[in-house]
């Protein structure tokens, strides 16, 4: 996977014109563009097709979580509308995760989309889990749910880069680790708590880095994305030299 293929930019928002303008400006610089719940609810499957037509692969991040039959139909529809990767909540359990993979395979016209499990949201910390009645450290819960996702034949997980090294040991080299909460140096952490820089995330073993506002709100999104790609490349060269 090249460094640009490892970078995903989150097109967060509901302004269709802005989303497509940013997508066009980044189409030659990144491998993935992410459409989230807000944009999808505003513009529907048509937006997936419009973004996909620009060239990068589409990461449809809806974080599905429902009974197995509903999720199976939903992932089939995600595949049919052109998503190349989609998310479901690991907390939905074994039956739901298995159904998600089945639906993605059934709905695909060509290669099925990658099905990725969301473990612990990067906006949550130990205090949040305690308040929810989950008496586990975030790392422990991430590992448990990642193993479940792997056993259900999912392609990988969404997890903080802080957990990437541990997840690689737990789940093996072929299991994708998609990491949000990536912030270049000097960027605000916004509403994410468990964050790392691109170089730190690559060094920890993350496969695909998801970056939002530091790129989309930059004066030149293309230049901001290219700087991150270069930072990732430098981190990988340094790792290879060691």
Interior CA angle at 178 toward 175 and 184, to 5°? Answer: 140
Give burial (CB, 10 Å; 0-12/13-18/19+) of 72.
Answer: buried
φ/ψ (deg, to 5) at 87? -120, 145
Q: Which residues are catalytic?
A: 63
Which tokens sit at 17?
């014109």
Nearest Cα neighbor of 112 from 68, 60, 158 is: 60
Question: Whole-angstrom Cα distance, residue 56 to residue 64?
Answer: 23
What is the number of alpha carbons within 13 Å of residue 54 lying toward its C-beta? 23
């Amino acid at each position: 996977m090249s460094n640009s293929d490892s970078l995903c930019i989150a097109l967060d928002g509901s302004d269709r014109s802005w989303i497509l303008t940013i997508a066009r400006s980044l189409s030659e610089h990144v491998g993935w563009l992410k459409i989230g719940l807000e944009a999808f609810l505003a513009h529907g499957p048509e937006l997936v097709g419009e973004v996909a037509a620009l060239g990068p692969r589409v990461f449809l991040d809806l974080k599905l979580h429902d009974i197995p039959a509903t999720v199976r139909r939903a992932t089939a529809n995600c595949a049919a509308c052109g998503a190349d990767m989609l998310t479901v909540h690991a907390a939905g359990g074994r039956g739901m995760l298995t159904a998600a993979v089945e639906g993605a395979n059934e709905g695909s016209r060509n290669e099925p989309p990658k099905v990725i499990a969301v473990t612990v949201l990067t906006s949550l910390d130990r205090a949040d889990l305690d308040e929810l009645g989950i008496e586990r450290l975030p790392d422990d819960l991430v590992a448990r749910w990642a193993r479940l996702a792997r056993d259900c034949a999912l392609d990988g997980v969404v997890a903080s880069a802080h957990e990437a090294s541990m997840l690689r040991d737990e789940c093996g080299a072929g299991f994708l680790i998609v990491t949000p909460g990536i912030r270049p140096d000097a960027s605000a952490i916004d509403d994410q708590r468990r964050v790392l820089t691109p170089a730190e995330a690559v060094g920890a073993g993350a496969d695909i880095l998801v970056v939002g506002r530091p790129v989309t709100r930059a004066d030149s999104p293309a230049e901001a994305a290219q700087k991150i790609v270069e930072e990732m490349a430098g981190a990988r060269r340094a790792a290879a030299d060691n």
